[in-house]
Amino acid sequence: MRAIGLVGTPYRWGGNTPDSGFDCSGLIGYVYRGATGITLPRSTRDMINLRGPDIDRSQLQTGDLVFFATGGGSNVSHAGIYVGEGRFVHAPATGGTVKLDSLDKPYWQKAWLNAKRVITPSNLARQ
């Protein structure tokens, strides 16, 4: 999947291209635009409210959006793209880079909020 090829790209708040760097929602928007032509909302708050089915963690498929409340509570603060085998690609924080991470890590399990299916996985598989 295209998102995996972006691992290592620098994090930059507000960034939405490989040249400028990415924040979490900028990375998702870039991948979705390039892979499907779909333009997603710019903020994680708007993305989590997109129409489309909520997906249980056990039903995740490649391309699903995963959402986290990294500050605790129920307010979305971070998002990534599920890439299979319990892993997701995301742009985590200032000073870091786009990375491949595991949903099984206790940090992400604790912060887990929701997942959404915006497109069917077969659309992404062709990319």
pLDDT, tens digit, for every residue of 17-76?
Answer: 999 999 999 999 999 999 889 899 999 999 999 988 999 999 999 999 999 999 888 999
At residue 119 the predicted structure's pLDDT band, cuts being 50, 70 and 90, is confident
Confidence at residue 86, expressed as pLDDT on a 0 to 100 scale: 97
Confidence at residue 127, expressed as pLDDT on a 0 to 100 scale: 43
Query: Catalytic: which of 1, 65, 89, 90?
Result: 90
For the chain, the domains span: 2-120
Give 126's contacts (C-beta < 8 A, 6+ positions apart). none
Query: Catalytic: which of 44, 67, 78, 88?
Result: 78
Query: Catalytic: which of 1, 24, 81, 89?
Result: 24
pLDDT higher than 60, residue 126: no
Residue 103 annotated in active site = no
Give 81's contacts (C-beta < 8 A, 6+ positions apart). 1, 3, 27, 28, 31, 63, 64, 65, 66, 88, 89, 90
Mean pLDDT score across all residues of the chain: 91
How many Å from the N-terminal Cα to the C-terminal Cα in the chain?
7
* Better pLDDT: 116 or 126: 116
How is domain 2-120 classified at the CATH fold level? endopeptidase fold (from Nostoc punctiforme) (3.90.1720)
Residue 62 annotated in active site = no
Q: What percent of the chain has pLDDT over 70?
A: 93
pLDDT higher than 80, residue 109: yes
Residue 24 annotated in active site = yes
At residue 1 the predicted structure's pLDDT band, cuts being 50, 70 and 90, is low
Q: What angle do CA 81, 95, 33 make, to 5 degrees?
A: 30
